[in-house]
Structure 1
Amino acid sequence: MTLAVSVPRGLARIDWRALLRPGTLIPILVILAALAWALAPGLFAPGSPTESSGVALQAPSAAHIFGTDATGRDLYTRVVHGASQSITAAVVAVAVGLIAGTAIGVTAGAVGGALEEILMRLVDVLLAIPALLLSLSVVILLGFGTTNAAIAVGVTSIAVFARLARSQVVSVRSTEFVEAAYGSGGTFVGVLWRHILPNSLTPVIALAALQLGSAILQISTLGFLGYGAPPPTPEWGLLIAEGRSYVATAWWLTVLPGAVVALVVLATNRLSQAIGREDRA
């Protein structure tokens, strides 16, 4: 006879409908809009992001809602098409950190012993290196470009995901319902897959949402410093860098792309907080 093992409801059950409150719905809509820009920029800005379309340094108007840059290119079009560079790179970066870091953390927490000590000491080494310095070192080794910048940023988040995943697995592993699952004849892999992981990874999902905003900032920073996409490719950090020489005469070149970056990052942070709050409820 097999015992029915019930999983505590509060450990890893997010009420997704509760996330649709007004305070959370707006950030979700902002994120969805940014993702739509990234997936289909031509639907929102059908013009060319690299060709001149008007008078240079024209202030925001009905014809050019974000104005034009120093070569007459429509800034709104470049910001929309830049989302496909910045957000796609951020998603790749989060995926690298999430997959590698979670694998390390889950392995360390589930197996324990000497393997856990070795893996967590490697994680401590990564945490000891400042994120920007580590990402710069990786991107210099790999070469410049958006993809390499994404991988570099992803490497910097591996340690954070690993520590959180390991702590959650260790916490859930010692609960009574996991012990009952083992007592009912469950195998190590079966209990890990059916009971430990589903009740451990909700905080990791919240961290992934938070890291998406952080990744956008880091990739924009690398682009601003010249380590990301080469000109004239539209990329949010590069757009801000191109406008810094015109801050006194054409404020919109830096303020409007910067405002878009800040809005998307704040939205991801708000969503992360909402997921974490629902997990703790």
Structure 2
Amino acid sequence: MTGASVPGAGGVGSGGVPVPARAARRPRGRVAVGLVVAWLMVGLVLLWAVVPGLFTAYDPIAGVPAEKLRPPGAGHLFGTDAVGRDVFARVVHGSVHSLSGALVAVGVGLLLGTLLGLLAGAAGGVADAAVMRVVDVLLSVPGLLLALTVIILLGPGTVNVAIAVGIGSVAAFARLARAEVVRVRRTDYVEAAFGSGGRFGAVLWRHVLPNSLGPVVALAALQFGAAILAISTLGFLGYGAEPPTPEWGLLIAEGRNYLATSWWLTTLPGAVVVAVVLAAGRISRSIGRERG
């Protein structure tokens, strides 16, 4: 039947180009509420890390024994722990440890992974095969297990945990960067740059690398949330910050012995971790669509 519209099908854009159904139904200029909430969540946590004094006046280290194990309320938004410390204050002040660790982890993975992917995709041949075989081996090992192996070599501590998590993400960055470099390397404008006498390093720096970073940046946003989760997991296992440092994973670990009677000690810090990880994932998907 000519001219009939199919339910769920997309429309036709300018020039007769088909428009996907989901895009056709979305009004232009409309802001995704979920994306706004994600940015607000990430922005709030960043403010916690930069200016924690704006959000709480309580000391995250010193407690008041008479106030121990108080449930959430007006005086203590997240309640208090077993030694009378304000849990919300510890979550706010602990954000700097978790976020800075995640930034270091993403930086390590992004830098090393992109360099390996650029080398493999641009050089090709034996170098490509050798690098990608190493990447395949790293990808075959679970990231948390690889991070634990690195921590055994480096020792526990916030910085070492961040480096270990970053090394565990190198393979994912390298594989994606290599695929993008190979794709861009075969385009006409890169071939023209080489044909006009451009030096190999200059063409890679000016043409190949900038046009290969879009999906890698989206992966970095996703890995930021995954790094927070991994660092919190390792902190929960006792490999991160030492007590009484208010680190998110350590906060959850400290409250597990009181889970039956004081649920807020683990539930509320855990909810903050989950919210930040989900927000980072939502931002990553947005960046991936914009650069795709």
Q: Same fold judged by TM-score > 0.5?
A: yes
Asked whether the equivalents of residues 106 and 169 of structure 1 are also in contact (C-alpha less than 8 Å), the reply is yes
Letter in 1 for 2:275: L
TM-score, normalised via structure 1 length:
0.90
Q: 2:52 — aligned with what? A: 41
TM-score, normalised via structure 2 length:
0.87
| SS of 1:68 mapped into structure 2 | coil
Mark the CA change 1:20 to 1:109 in structure 2 (over 3 Å): closer, same or farther: farther
Summarize deviations over 1:118-173 as a string: whole Å, max 9, x none.
Answer: 11111112112111111111112111111111011011000000000000000110
Q: 1:45 Cα shift? A: 2.3
Q: Which has the higher contact order (CA 8 A, sep 6+)?
A: 1
Letter in 1 for 2:285: Q
Give the paired residue count: 263
1:91 aligned to which of 87, 99, 103: 103
Q: How do 1:161-176 residues align onto structure 2 when only pairs under 5 Å count?
A: 161-176=173-188
| SS of 1:200 mapped into structure 2 | helix
Asked whether the equivalents of residues 19 and 25 of structure 1 are also in contact (C-alpha less than 8 Å), the reply is no
Q: 2:69 — aligned with what? A: 57
Asked whether the equivalents of residues 56 and 71 of structure 1 are also in contact (C-alpha less than 8 Å), the reply is yes
Distance 2:51 2:131 in 1: 41
Q: How do 1:36-185 residues align onto structure 2 when only pairs under 5 Å count?
A: 36-53=47-64, 55-185=67-197
Distance 1:46 1:152 in 2: 34
- Is 1:253 the counterpart of 2:258 in the alignment? no
Structure 1: state its 5+ residue gaps. Answer: 1-17
- Is 1:278 the counterpart of 2:290 in the alignment? yes
Summarize deviations over 1:56-88 as a string: whole Å, max 9, x none.
Answer: 000111111110001100000000011011111
Q: 1:201 — aligned with what? A: 213
Asked whether the equivalents of residues 19 and 275 of structure 1 are also in contact (C-alpha less than 8 Å), the reply is no
Q: 1:14 — aligned with what? A: none
% identical aligned pairs: 61
Distance 1:243 1:20 in 2: 39
Distance 2:252 2:42 in 1: 20
Summarize deviations over 1:8-67 as a string: whole Å, max 9, x none.
Answer: xxxxxxxxxx89643312111111111121222233223211101461000111111110
Asked whether the equivalents of residues 68 and 74 of structure 1 are also in contact (C-alpha less than 8 Å), the reply is yes
Structure 2: state its 5+ residue gaps. Answer: 1-28
Q: 1:114 Cα shift? A: 1.1
Q: 1:224 — aligned with what? A: 236
Letter in 1 for 2:114: T
Letter in 1 for 2:62: E
RMSD: 1.4
Letter in 2 for 1:142: L
* Bigger shift: residues 21-30 or 271-280: 21-30
Distance 1:21 1:191 in 2: 38
| SS of 1:59 mapped into structure 2 | coil
Distance 2:52 2:110 in 1: 27
Letter in 1 for 2:159: T
